[in-house]
Structure 1
Amino acid sequence: MADIALRFFKDMLVVASPVQAALRRQGIEDARDQALAVLLEPETIEDAYRLETAAGPQCLVAPVADFAPARLTALGMEDAAEKLARAAVAIPRSFKPQHLLVEIAPCGLPLDPSSKGSLVENRDQYARAASLFGPADFDAFFLNGFTTVDDLKCALMGLRKVSDAPVFASVDVTAGGMLASGRGTLASGRGTLAEAVAVMAEFGASVAGFATLSAPADAAALAATVRETLGTQGADLCIMATLAVRDRNDRRQGPTPENPYYVPDTMVAAAADLRAAGVQFLRAAGNATPAYTGVLAAAVAGQDVAVE
C-alpha cells in the first residue's frame, strides 16, 4: 500500500463515504450489530465496500471506529478487540485501495479538563486503541467525530504516545465555525474550529479536517478559517472537508439550508469551492451513498491541490 504522506499537498483525493450508512439501509442499525457483522458476516461489509470502491475514491476507511476500551466495553466486545481490529483492516484492504484509514471515534468517557487523572485516562484510551493496530497495513489514523477541543487533544496525545503514523483529525462544526458541542478548552470556554485546528497543529496531526452540514459557500469559508489558523500557527497541514448529507430527495427542486446536499450532483459545486479554498481531501458522509463519492471523485479527477 502506498505511503499517503507522499501525496500530501499534491493531487486531490476523495475519501469513501462511511459504510455504516449502507449497513443501516440493510437493517444493521446499531454499532454493536455492525461490529458483529465485521466479525461474523464479513460478506455483508464487503458488499458495501464493493459499491464504494466502484465509485472511485482513493481512500477507504475501516468499517468500525469503536476501538477505545470504553467503547468496546459498551459494545460488550472488549475481549474481541484485537480480532475486531484485524478484521476491520482486512476487509477494506482486500479491495486493494490506494490508501486505507483506520478510524477511531471519541472514547465517550466523561472528561474533566481540570483533573490530571481524567486527562490521563482519556489519553490512554486512545493510546490503547491505536496499539491494537501495531504493524497492520494501513496508511493513517482518522480521528473523526470529535466535538470538544480537550477530547481531541487527549486523542492526539494518546496516538502520538504509541504511533508515528500520519493522523487525520476532524471535528464536527456549525456553519459559523463553532464546534458541535459548543465547548472549548477550560481556559477559553468557546469551542471554535480555529481552536481545534490550533490543537491539531500543536499535537501532531498531519491533516486538519472538519465535518459540516453547511452549504458549499459556508463550507469553503470554514476551510479558509482552517488555512488562516494554520498560517498563524506556522503549521504545514493538509486540509480535509467532510460534507454531511441528510435526506436524499430527487424530487426536490433545489437545496435548502437544512439539506444542501439533497442529490449527488450538488457535490460538483461543493468540490470546486472547497478545492479553491485549499482543501485536498473530500468526503461525503451522513446518509451519503456511493453516488456522492462518485461525483466527488469525478469532479476532482486529475486535479492538483490549489495553492496560493
Structure 2
Amino acid sequence: MPDIDMRFNKDMLVLSAPIDEVLARQGVDIEKDREFLSLLEPEAVRNAYRLESVAGAQCLVSNTAGITSARLAHVNMEERAAELAKASLSVLRSLRPQHMLAEIGPTYLPIDASSATSLKQNRDQYADAVRAFGDGEFDAVFLNDMVSLPDVQCALMGVRMVYDGPVFASVDIDGDGNVARRDQSIEEAVSLMAEYGASVAGFATAAPLDAAVAAVKRARVVWDGPLLVQLAVRKNDPKQGIATDENPYYCPDVMVEAATKLRGAGVQFLRATGHATPSYTGALVAASAGFDVIGS
C-alpha cells in the first residue's frame, strides 16, 4: 500500500461513500446500531464495503465517524473505542484497498471558543480518538463533517498532538459557501485548516454543482494543496429526470459531469455522501480514474 501523501496533487482519487445507505436498505437502524455492527456483524459491514471496492474506490473510509468518547457514550460504548477502530480497519484491510482512511467525526459537544478549558476538553476528545487506532495500518486521519471553525481547530490540534501523518479535514457548507451551522466562510475554514496542519482541505455540500465549483475556486485563493469535495445526495431518485436545487445529485449519472467539472477546478479527491449508493462511487471513478489533478 503506497503512502497516500506521495500521490498528493497527482492522481485523481475517489473515497468510498458512507455505507449507511446500503445497510439502511437492509433494515439496519443506523443511528442505533452502526458501531455495534462493526463488532458483531463484521461480515455485513465487509459486504457493504465490498460493493464500494468493486465500484472502484481507491480510498476506503473506516466506519468510525462516531469514535469520539462523547459520541460513543450515547450508545454506551465509550470504553470500546480501540476495539471499534481495530474491527473497522480489519474489515477494510481484508479488501486490500489502495488506501485506508481512519474517519473521525465531530463530537457535537458545545465549544466556547473564548475558553481555554472548553477548547482543551474538545481537543482531547480528538486526540483520544486517534489513540484508539493505535498502531493500526492506515494512510491518513479523516476529520469529517466538522460543523464549525472552533471544531476544526480543536480537531486538528488534538490530532496533531499524537499523529504526524497525513490529515484530511472537511467542513459542511451551504450553497453560499458558508459553514453550514455557522456564518463562517469557506475561505476562513480552509485557512484555519492550513494553519493547524491539515494535509488535505475540503468540504461537503448538498448545493448544486455550480455552487460547489464556485466554493472550490474560493478555497483555491487561500489553499494550493490537495482539495477534497464531497457531494451529498439528498435522495436517490432517477425518476426525477433533471437536477434541481433541492436535489441536484438525484442519480449516479449526474456524478460524471460533477467529477469532470470539479477536476477542472483543481479538485483531487472526490466522494459521494448522504444517500449515495456504490453506483455513485462508480460514476465518480469512471469520470476521474487515470487522470491527473489539473493545475498540479
Partner of 1:264: 252
CA-CA distance at 1:224 after TM superposition: 0.7
| 1:242 counterpart = 2:235 | no
Partner of 2:190: 197
Q: How many residues align?
A: 296
Where 2:271 maps in the other structure, the secondary structure is strand
CA-CA distance at 1:276 after TM superposition: 0.7
CA-CA distance at 1:64 after TM superposition: 2.3
Counterpart-to-counterpart distance in 2, 1:163 and 1:5: 14
RMSD across aligned positions (CA)? 1.1
Report matched runs for 1:86-235 at 5 Å: 86-182=86-182, 190-230=183-223
Counterpart-to-counterpart distance in 2, 1:154 and 1:79: 22
Gaps (5+ residues) in structure 1? 183-189, 231-235
Question: Which amino acid is the alignment partner of residue 266 of structure 1?
Answer: V
Q: Say if 1:245 and 1:285, in contact at 8 Å, map to a contact too.
A: yes
After superposition, give the CA deviation of every residue in 1:57-84 in whole Å (9 maximum; x if it has no partner). 1100001211111111122001222111
Where 2:176 maps in the other structure, the secondary structure is coil
Question: Which amino acid is the alignment partner of residue 31 of structure 1?
Answer: E
Q: Say if 2:177 and 2:215, in contact at 8 Å, map to a contact too.
A: yes
After superposition, give the CA deviation of every residue in 1:82-103 in whole Å (9 maximum; x if it has no partner). 1111001111111000000010
Where 1:78 maps in the other structure, the secondary structure is coil
Counterpart-to-counterpart distance in 1, 2:7 and 2:88: 24
Counterpart-to-counterpart distance in 1, 2:279 and 2:71: 31
Return the TM-score normalized by structure 2. Answer: 0.98
The more displaced of 202-211 and 245-254 is 245-254
Gaps (5+ residues) in structure 2? none
Partner of 2:47: 47
Partner of 1:74: 74
Report matched runs for 1:289-300 at 5 Å: 289-300=277-288
Partner of 2:270: 282
Q: Say if 1:214 and 1:257, in contact at 8 Å, map to a contact too.
A: yes
Question: Which amino acid is the alignment partner of residue 95 of structure 1?
Answer: L
CA-CA distance at 1:253 after TM superposition: 2.1
Counterpart-to-counterpart distance in 2, 1:127 and 1:31: 24
